[in-house]
Amino acid sequence: MLQVHHLNNSRSQRILWLLEELKAPYEIIYYKRDLETNLAPEKLKEIHMLGKSPVITDNGKVIIESAAISTYIVDQYAPSDFSPNKDDDDYYKYLELMHYAEGSAMLPMLLLLYSSSLGKNAEPLMERIFSEINLHVGYLSECLGENDFFFRNKFSGLDTMISFVLEAAKISDSLKSFPNLINVLNKYQSRPAYKKALEKGGEYILGS
């Protein structure tokens, strides 16, 4: 059975959500952040040397990185119409956004997270960080447009990937000028599978 090595308050929450949407069988192995450092426990390095979450194990495979994990889960457990196949004209646009949600879009969010602990020392960085956040949030707003979901107006693994970016942006009050993103995030968080994943995953400060 697929195992999710799940760290509280981490991006592995969206992996649980995806699995719940697909009603795929899985087991959660729980890990808790250190209360002082907020770091993942050393025990995670027994699964993968980087000691990061999410990481899954399935059929002898160990897979890290949210986009790779999501792609694997969709390939193995989703119905054929859940995502485009490689012959689809929009396949690479879908793939681009999957990786964008974990790469470029997350960088300013992480910079804000880490710099916030520096107090006044971080002030010179803030204008640039928020400028980058607004740039990426604006791009996602344009990608979504008036649709309910990010790919062909149909729920997909792309939505679970982008959800974390939107939740992080909401915490920094960066969604207020983008009502379409606020609406889609509310729709995500109202889905039964999202709520069930929260119940199973435990502490997740972005999910409120």
What are 21-75's pLDDT values in tens digits? Answer: 999 999 999 999 998 888 899 999 999 999 999 999 999 999 999 999 999 999 9
Q: Is the pLDDT of residue 123 over 60?
A: yes
In a domain, 99, yes or no: yes
Mark whether 78 and 98 lie in a shared domain. no
pLDDT at 131 over 70: yes
Range of the domain at 107: 91-191
* Residue 100 placed within a domain: yes
Domain harbouring 109, CATH code: 1.20.1050.10
Q: Are residues 68 and 125 in the same domain?
A: no
Q: Are 174 and 113 in contact (CB under 8 A)?
A: no
15 plus 50 within the same structural domain:
yes
Whether 32 is covered by a domain: the verdict is yes
Q: Are residues 95 and 186 in the same domain?
A: yes
Element of type H or E holding 30? strand 26-31
- Mean pLDDT of the region 91-100: 96
For the chain, how long is the longest CA-to-CA vector?
Answer: 51
Q: Are residues 75 and 97 in the same domain?
A: no
Report yes or no on 208 lying in a domain: no
Q: What is the pLDDT of residues 142-196, one digit of tens each?
A: 999 999 999 999 999 999 999 999 999 999 899 999 999 999 999 999 999 999 9
Kindly state whether residues 160 and 133 are assigned to the same domain. Answer: yes
Q: Do 163 and 14 contact (CB within 8 A), yes or no?
A: yes
Report which of 1, 3, 10 is spatially closest to residue 202, judged by C-alpha positions: 10
CATH of the domain at 64: 3.40.30.10
Based on the fold, state whether residues 175 and 109 are members of the same structural domain: yes
User: Strand 26-31 relative to strand 55-58: parallel, antiparallel, unpaired?
Assistant: unpaired
Q: Are 96 and 42 in contact (CB under 8 A)?
A: no
Q: Are residues 96 and 34 in the same domain?
A: no
pLDDT at site 127: 87
Residues 58 and 109 in one domain: no
Position 206 in a domain: no
pTM, 2 dp: 0.94
Domains in the chain: how many in total? Answer: 2
Q: Is the pLDDT at 114 greater than 80, yes or no?
A: no
Mean pLDDT of 80-87: 92
- The confidence score (pLDDT) of residue 135 equals 97
Query: Considering the domain boundaries, does residue 207 fall inside one?
Result: no
Q: 79 pLDDT exceeds 80?
A: yes
Residue 208 has pLDDT above 60, yes or no: no
Same domain, 23 and 40: yes
Looking at the structure, do residues 101 and 183 belong to the same domain, yes or no?
Answer: yes
In the numeric block, the tokens 């592995």 are attached to 12
Whole-number Å distance between alpha carbons of 108 and 125: 11
Examine the domain organization and report whether 187 and 95 are in the same domain: yes
Kindly state whether residue 145 falls inside one of the protein's structural domains: yes
